[in-house]
Chains A and B, each alone.
Chain A
């Protein structure tokens, strides 16, 4: 399974944008980039995923580098409820649907 590298922790202020980086230099051409987050005492929650193009949804935006070796999850206006551990995960095409979690980035949001 291809690996990802994320900072252990990041800090942000409420209502400011947050950019969470992820490096995946060994990504294959068919790997999708998935982001999940886990709030305290809950199971992981899907945030967003993409293959090559930047993606937007109601929760966040995903910016994918042209060479696909890195990506950035963007929370446009952080709220206290966004405080969580964010996981960047590569999932292959072909229906594996198996997630290989690293340690993720713990995001702290200050009021």
Chain B
């Protein structure tokens, strides 16, 4: 059983460009969350998708948007890239049961904005 898979593993973009990151959740999971991790910091919650809808959102600007597909996979889009968007982007999946469930994380996409 594959765990959470993310693509690409590394990406280099320039300021002002747009980027799309992809995530396939662990088999059987219906909820996908995205996190941003700057160097030396803990991951910060961006948003969470369930049933193809954004369920909750962290303190990130509208330049960050996402999508969840019927097969539960998800995309994270970032428009008008800034240098400060350089970070490790992590995807996490879980099965939403209403009881505090554990999350499974992918290895992340390392985004560098030049």
Contacts and interface: CB of A to CB of B under 8 A. Distances in A.
Interface stretch (B40-48, B64-72, B75-83): B40-48
A105 B102 CA distance: 20
Contacts of B4: 43
B107 A102 contact: no
A78 B41 CA distance: 24
A49 interface: yes
A107 to B, nearest CB: 15
B107 A43 contact: yes
Given A44-B90, A87-B42, A103-B42, A97 B100 contact: yes
A92 B100 contact: yes
Contacts of A44: 43, 90, 92, 103, 105
A99 B103 contact: yes
B56 interface: yes
Interface residues of A, number: 27
Interface in B28-64: 31, 33, 35, 41-45, 48, 56, 58
Given A44-B43, A103-B41, A103-B42, A98 B105 contact: no
Contacts of A101: 35, 42-44
Given A43-B107, A44-B90, A44-B105, A98 B100 contact: no
List 5 tightest A-B contacts by C-beta distance, closest first. A101-B42, A43-B105, A32-B100, A46-B102, A95-B98
Given A95-B97, A98-B33, 11 more contacts: A36-B103, A41-B107, A43-B4, A44-B105, A85-B42, A92-B100, A96-B56, A97-B48, A97-B103, A98-B45, A99-B92
Interface of A: 32, 34, 36, 41-46, 49, 51, 85, 87, 91-104
